[in-house]
């Protein structure tokens, strides 16, 4: 499915169930009602809540890691860690507006220890609804620079996603309209003069049919101007 800006999507979302799994490159269907994944197909990543008290259970844990700060407009910040070679990609995956590389360490355990310490004051997660609320905003640079002032910044990142929004989009789950762009896991679609922000995780496991959605959708005030 092409999600490039300007593409037109004409899909109706049908029943949602477990998305199944990929086995040797082939999708294996699962009709369990739990979505996006049933317990059998839920992948429990051992590093998800690690605070550096592990025995480096994965091969990737032994790779060089970067500790970073991420900014989401207008003034939501978080700390995170990733393998050094994935730093820029990881920031984009999260839809960060700005990022700063603040430490490089030998492995993931050390990185998680540093992350846990910084997270006591900065936080280590950002809800999708907070990201949606700032899609039409810019990062407040004074607050961002004040945060960075407490760290030795090794590299800075500044991302542009080309959404060109004047107002906050309406949060909705649909797959029909003109693509404005994507920001992390958020898809922005325009339909009948209203911009909608779709959490693409909410689409996982949905059956789709090739037709425009016929259901009533909330519209923005701007669409009446």
pLDDT in tens, 75-104: 999 999 999 999 999 999 999 999 999 999
Q: What is the pLDDT of residue 179?
A: 98
The mean pLDDT value for 28-38 works out to: 94
Instruction: Write the pLDDT tens digit of every residue in 154-195.
Output: 999 999 999 999 999 999 999 999 999 999 999 999 999 999
Evaluate if residue 224 carries a pLDDT over 50. Answer: no
More reliable by pLDDT, 212 or 109:
109
How many residues are there in the chain? 225
The CA-atom distances, in angstroms, between 205 and each of 24, 71, 76, 125, 217 are 19, 30, 30, 24, 21
Chain-centroid distance, C-alpha 144: 20
Which H/E stretch holds residue 117? helix 108-119
Q: What is the pTM of this model?
A: 0.89
């Amino acid at each position: 499915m092409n999600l490039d800006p300007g593409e037109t999507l004409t899909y109706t979302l049908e029943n949602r169930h477990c998305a199944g799994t990929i086995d040797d490159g082939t999708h294996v269907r699962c009709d369990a009602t739990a979505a996006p994944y049933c317990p059998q197909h839920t992948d429990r990543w051992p590093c998800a809540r690690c605070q550096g008290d592990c025995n480096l259970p994965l091969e990737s844990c032994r790779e060089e890691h970067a500790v970073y700060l991420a900014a989401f407009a207008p003034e939501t910040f978080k700390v995170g860690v990733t393998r050094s070679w994935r730093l820029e990609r990881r920031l984009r995956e999260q839809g960060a507006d700005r990022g700063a590389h603040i430490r490089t360490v030998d492995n993931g355990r050390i990185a998680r220890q540093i992350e846990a310490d910084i997270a006591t004051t900065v936080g280590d997660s950002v809800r999708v609804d907070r990201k949606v609320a700032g899609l039409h905003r810019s990062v407040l640079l004074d607050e961002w620079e004040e945060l960075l002032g407490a760290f030795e910044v090794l590299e800075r990142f500044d991302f542009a996603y080309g959404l060109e929004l004047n107002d906050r989009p309406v949060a909705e789950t649909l797959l029909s309209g003109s693509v404005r762009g994507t920001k992390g896991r958020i898809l922005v679609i325009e339909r009948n003069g209203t911009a909608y922000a779709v959490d693409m995780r909410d689409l996982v496991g949905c059956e789709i049919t090739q037709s425009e959605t016929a259901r009533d959708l909330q519209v923005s005030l701007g669409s009446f101007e």
